[in-house]
Chain A
Amino acid sequence: MIPAAFDYAAPATVEEALALLAEHGDDAKIIAGGQSLLPVLRLRLNAPEFVIDLGKIDRLRGVREDGDALVIGAMTTHSAVANDPLVAQHAALISKAVATVADAQVRNRGTFGGALAHADPAGDVGAPALALGAEFVIAGQGGATRTVDAADFFVDLFETAIGEDELLTEIRVPKHTGWGAHYEKFVRIAQQWSIVAVAAAVKAEGGTISEARVALTNMGSTPLRATAVEQALQGKPATEDAIREAVGAVADGTNPPTDLNGDADYRKHLAQVLTRRAVLTAAGG
């Protein structure tokens, strides 16, 4: 299976990439690591006339600190994010979640920003970014740059706040140094997309949860932040019974899909079980 023919450019700078986007508009498609795009092109579910490869733009790669935030370049691979000591120290939830993406070969090519921009609701990068309140830095035409909160970034199925002539360049993650973290992913076979997964970061002191961040994968058309559960967990002892009670309503208001892996009610049940496990593990239980 071979993609339909397309023209191709691998610009060296974000500015050149943006100029190509402006020139080709709807006919152009951005390729980052290509781990989601190439299967789509090969099955000819999409046939762009022009492909813009971001692989030569070095400044989009890497992780750095900027005050209270970690800045992850959009083209940093999942492997690089999973093995980065700064991410492990300040945003362990992201380290743990990206380590579950697909398989090792795909993580060596696939990028953190590419997966976020692709916005597959069963993907594993959206929920941890949402849980930690990440901000998305988006470059536009004429040198414009804007920053979008995680809450506004995920719009719908495979749809984000990134405009047609814009590029996601960086993801800024507020540091959660010292927080416990866990990504509880439920799959039935190897290298599967999440049937449901739960991202949890917990700040616990003396056996009591002082703050919690919880977000859900594949419980709707976008990753979902479970704010009611976060509030219910605040001040609770980090015990299985207390957490079970606090997370009981985690699936309220969600709209999970029904497919061959399970129906919506099954996913709502899974969300409860996985949230309890994720929070308990993140709290050190």
Chain B
Amino acid sequence: MTKIELTVDGSKVSDDVEPRMLLVQFLREKLGKTGTLIGCDTSNCGACTVHLDGHAVKSCNMLAVQADGSEVTTIEGLADTYDGGELHPMQAAFHECHALQCGFCTPGMIMRSVDLLGENPDPSEQEIREGLEGNLCRCTGYHNIVRAVQTAAAAGKGAQA
């Protein structure tokens, strides 16, 4: 077992974990944060995307021990990073634009979209599509997801994460 200390959704967490435990397992099984999903289990689909020190990473493709000393934000803590209401503006935009059908890709899609606007607050449609390259949606055909990111960008609030 290896001792790790990190911050998850604003709370300090300290635990002993097996070195082989994946970050996504740690979040779901140890902390009960099941908002972060395991989709493909092969690092392709992006459903497990969280923020590590402010940037999107695939939590199924890193070890929990690699997150020692870091700050992790999951979909469950995203709204708390923004002091304007119950939902983060990106969550609100996904809601407004109905940017989902089954919803399985949504947590990862939202976490990556927030990071995308952090890097580029005013992306073109093409830049949004390419910027979401690491997140797969099998329902929507992406159109409403792109609209949601455009809506959040237009609101000028999406970068505040």
Contact = CB atoms under 8 A, between A and B. Distances in A.
Contact of B18 (A5, A79, A103, A109): A5
Contacts of B55: 79, 108
A38 B20 contact: no
A10 B57 contact: no
Interface in B37-54: 41-44, 46, 49, 52
B133 A190 contact: yes
A103 B134 contact: yes
Contacts of A165: none
Given A6-B20, A39-B43, A104-B56, A53 B66 contact: yes
A4 interface: yes
B66 A2 contact: no
> Interface residue tally of chain B, by bracket?
20 to 34
A191 B63 contact: no
Contacts of B49: 105
A2 B112 contact: no
B49 to A, nearest CB: 6
Contact of B65 (A8, A103, A190): A8
A7 B1 CA distance: 8
Contact of A103 (B46, B63, B66): B46
Dominant secondary structure of chain B at its interface with chain A: mixed
A118 B63 CA distance: 19
> Interface residue tally of chain A, by bracket?
20 to 34
B56 A4 contact: no
A53 B20 contact: no
A51 interface: yes
A102 B19 contact: no
- For B52, B116, B134, which residue has the most chain A Cβ atoms within 10 angstroms? B134
Interface of A: 1-8, 10, 31, 34-35, 38-39, 41-42, 51, 53, 55, 79, 102-106, 108-109, 190-191
